[in-house]
């Protein structure tokens, strides 16, 4: 299993598990919380068929990667991504993130620029700034996240049930766009993640990306479901066209947070059209 070492904790290496398939223009896919790189399974074959080289990896704390108790902030996550980009010497890359992964894309471009990147894609974005403050009235109140953290501390597994039900809008799409088996697969991946990371990442969601966005100088695709219950579209995706210099924004009517699974045809079509431009 291939790993890239991104640091150490108490003398032990912190490794990110990654997969590298195909040839052609590299597309790096960065997963959302609380899943792993395999969550892109409805995009991977489509991108390979389109002639792309596709790289997925598991964020620290998740999937097959190490589960340290340090580094759960976006500067570190972006540095982890840079370590992978450098190790594989990726050039003319498309960076694509879903949910938490959109933070890596945004902070990487903000911190390291676009020397290795030609395009970016944000699916169910977390930027620009999720927390409600005096200068960010469209954000979500801090009390919501404090409630999430208390729930996680009491019963991490019950938290995942609540989260994934709203991740897929199960009350609407159960049996049509999300099966019991697919939901259970996501649950199994989630409970295999680090308990520390499960909690620590909630605070990370409150990162302010507003200073990163003006630095992005490559074309960007933003795709989001209009009924996203995890990252409300009015607080996130609908704000980005005013903050990015070159952006294509696609709303998926009625879509939940993980439209890459429930509305894969629409997502894949938008992504391939963007890549072809």
Whether 226 has a pLDDT exceeding 90, the answer reads yes
| Residue 50, domain extent | 3-276
- pLDDT for residue 141: 96
Task: Give the C-alpha separation, 105 to 81, whole Å.
Answer: 9
The CATH number of residue 47's host domain is 3.40.50.1820
Residue 1 confidence (pLDDT): 78
Percent of the chain with pLDDT over 90: 99
Q: Which of 36, 80, 212, 228 is catalytic?
A: 228
Q: Note whether 131 and 237 are within 8 A (CB).
A: no
Would you call 20 a catalytic residue per the annotation?
no
* Active-site option among 65, 99, 186, 193: 99
Across 51-80, average pLDDT: 98
CA 241 to chain CA centroid, Å, is: 19
The number of residues making up the chain comes to 277
pLDDT tens string 2-24:
999 999 999 999 999 999 999 99
Per-residue pLDDT tens over the stretch 87-135: 999 999 999 999 999 999 999 999 999 999 999 999 999 999 999 999 9
**Parallel, antiparallel, or unpaired for β 12-21 and 53-57?**
antiparallel
Give dist(CA 209, CA 34) in Å, integer: 21
pLDDT given for residue 3 in this prediction: 98
Residue 223 in contact with residue 122, Cβ under 8 Å? yes
What is d(CA 263, CA 242) in angstroms, rounded to the nearest whole number? 26
Predicted local confidence at residue 100, as pLDDT: 98
pLDDT confidence bin for 276, thresholds 50/70/90: very high
| Catalytic (active site) residue 228 | yes
Query: 253 pLDDT exceeds 90?
Result: yes
Taking the C-alpha atoms of residue 85 and residue 262, their distance in angstroms, rounded to an integer, is 30
Q: What value does the mean pLDDT take over residues 216-240?
A: 98
Sheet with 3-9: strands ordered across: 3-9, 12-21, 53-57, 26-30, 93-98, 117-123, 220-225, 247-252
Q: Work out the average pLDDT over 147-159.
A: 98
Number of domains in the chain: 1
The pLDDT assigned to 137 comes to 96
What's the whole-number average pLDDT of the chain?
A: 98
The residue from 31, 58, 65, 257 that is catalytic is 257
Confidence of residue 76 (pLDDT cuts 50, 70, 90): very high
Report whether pLDDT(77) > 90. Answer: yes
């Amino acid at each position: 299993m291939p790993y890239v070492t991104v640091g150490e904790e108490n003398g032990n290496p912190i490794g990110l598990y990654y997969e590298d398939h195909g040839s052609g223009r590299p597309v790096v896919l960065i997963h959302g919380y609380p899943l792993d790189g395999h969550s892109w399974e409805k995009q991977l074959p489509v991108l390979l068929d389109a002639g792309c080289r596709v790289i997925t990896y598991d964020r620290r704390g998740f999937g097959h990667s190490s589960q340290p108790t340090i580094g759960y902030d976006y500067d570190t996550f972006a540095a982890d991504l840079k370590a992978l980009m450098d190790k594989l010497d990726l050039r003319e890359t498309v960076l694509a993130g879903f949910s938490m992964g959109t933070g890596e894309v945004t902070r990487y471009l903000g911190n390291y620029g676009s020397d290795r990147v030609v395009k970016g894609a944000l699916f169910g974005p977390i930027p620009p700034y999720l927390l409600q403050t005096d200068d960010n009235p469209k954000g979500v109140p801090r009390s919501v996240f404090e409630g999430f953290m208390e729930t996680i501390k009491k019963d991490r597994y019950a938290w995942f049930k609540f989260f994934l039900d709203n991740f897929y809008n199960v009350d609407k799409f159960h049996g049509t766009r999300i099966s019991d088996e697919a939901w259970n697969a996501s649950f199994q991946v989630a409970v295999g993640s680090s308990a520390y990371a499960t909690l620590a990442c909630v605070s990370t969601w409150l990162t302010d990306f507003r200073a990163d966005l003006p630095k992005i100088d490559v074309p960007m695709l933003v795709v989001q479901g209009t009924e996203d219950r995890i990252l409300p579209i009015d607080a996130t995706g609908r704000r980005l066209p005013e903050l990015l210099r070159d952006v294509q924004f696609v709303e998926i009517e009625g879509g939940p947070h993980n439209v890459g699974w429930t509305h894969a045809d629409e997502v894949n079509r938008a992504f391939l059209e963007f890549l072809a431009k």
